[in-house]
Structure 1
Amino acid sequence: MEHLNAASAEELEQALLTCLRSPRWSRRVAEHRPYPDLASLLAAADEAAYDLTWADLTEALAEEPLPALPPDTYAAAHTALNAAHAAYEARFGHVFVICLDGLSPSEVLDHTLEAIRSRLTNDPEEERAVTADELRRLARGRLLAALRGAVPQSRCGYRRVGAIDHNEPAPGR
């Protein structure tokens, strides 16, 4: 916490962008320092996430990285995941994200496919709210990981980009 409070605004904003690719969110979290404790930081991060506009969220969605599928995932699973993403993106016009923190690697694929199928039944306004909440949860998990000194990447939901192998990093990352 001391390092976070002592960092320059620019350093902290860049570090926070690894948690959520929203410049507005990272600025807001950085501007509210100093944080006396972890609970205060997490509350500020949540509040800043709740205040993001749909344009801010769309900007963050465009930068979501691809997580890795377990190495033994069948090609058919990749095909099913790509088809589900295509249907989701056609319906909502943006990528699918989901926080997968707390799931074992063996649960990731099934949980993701089930969530996409379930969320396809949402109306667009309802899905915007779910997407915003998932991004907030991702940012919170990544922030906690960064504070623990781990790589600040909460496991996020898959993003379909053509026929990309989901075990490869997203282009430009």
Structure 2
Amino acid sequence: MNLASFNALPTSAAQAAIAHCVAIPRWQQALAAARPFASLAALLAEAERLTQAWSRDDLEQALLAHPRIGERASGAEKEAALSRQEQSAMGDADAALKQAMRAGNQAYEARFGRVFLIRASGRSGEEMLAQLQRRLTHDEPTETREALQQLREITLLRLKESLL
């Protein structure tokens, strides 16, 4: 879809068109309501501005739609397909790296009570593991801020890619 098509959609269809970007309905609603956009840059700026209001509750809601790093996203939905594509580096990882990521995911979930989230696109499996290990040293507020930033990056990347 291009920007002109997105601008022309009925509000409910516009929300549905960006639902795969992040599972936060109020963000979808607000972005759809802000149309029309004069340019892709204006759309991305508004989308990013709207992400700044996200809270820990929004993070928890969005994480329900994100698989663990290294685990294959199930389902035929667009979001599952994007997760599989974004995490493709883990599909090529050796057994030791996959095991280290599983152990890291378990440690992260035990420490923070949620799935580890990172913008996987463009990162190697080794880099994602190093980031997971680094983030295990965070306190809760620091890690929540970093996880929200990763969610913003994922969301904006998906939005940009869907409108190019």
TM-score range, shorter chain: 0.7 to 0.9
Name the structure 2 match of 1:151: none
Offset, 1:133: 0.5
Q: Match of 1:116?
A: 132
Q: Which residue of 2 aligns with 1:8?
A: 10
Equivalent residue for 1:32, pick from 34, 54, 73: 34
What residue number does 2:63 align with? 61
Q: Which whole-Å CA distance do the structure 2 matches of 1:34 and 1:73 have between them?
A: 43
Which of 150, 153, 156 is residue 140 of structure 1 equivalent to?
156
Distance 2:96 2:150 in 1: 26
SS in structure 2 of the partner of residue 18 of structure 1 = helix
Amino acid paired to 1:73: A
Higher helix share: 2
Match of 1:100 among 115, 120, 139: 120
| Contact 2:18-2:159 within 8 A present in 1 as well | yes
TM-score, structure 1 normalization? 0.78
Q: Deviations over 1:23-42 (max 9, x none)?
A: 11111111111111111111
State, as a whole percentage, how many aligned pairs show the same letter. 33
- Distance verdict in 2 for CA 1:64–1:73, change over 3 Å: same
- Which residue identity lines up with residue 145 of structure 2 in the other structure? A
TM-score of the aligned structures, taking structure 2 as reference length: 0.82
The answer for the alignment partner of 1:74 in structure 2 is: 94
Alpha-carbon contact 2:119-2:151 (below 8 Å) kept? yes
- Computed over aligned residues only, the root mean square deviation of the Cα atoms, in angstroms, reads 1.4
CA separation in 1, counterparts of 2:89 and 2:121? 14
Contact preservation (8 Å) 2:97, 2:126: no
TM-superposed CA distance for 1:71, in Å, is 4.5
Greater mean alpha carbon deviation, residues 58-67 or residues 119-128: 58-67
Letter in 2 for 1:50: Q
Flag structure 1 segments of 5+ consecutive residues without an equivalent.
149-173
Q: 1:119 to 1:71 in 2, by over 3 A?
A: closer
User: Are 1:126 and 2:146 an aligned pair?
Assistant: no
Q: What residue identity is the alignment partner of 1:23?
A: P
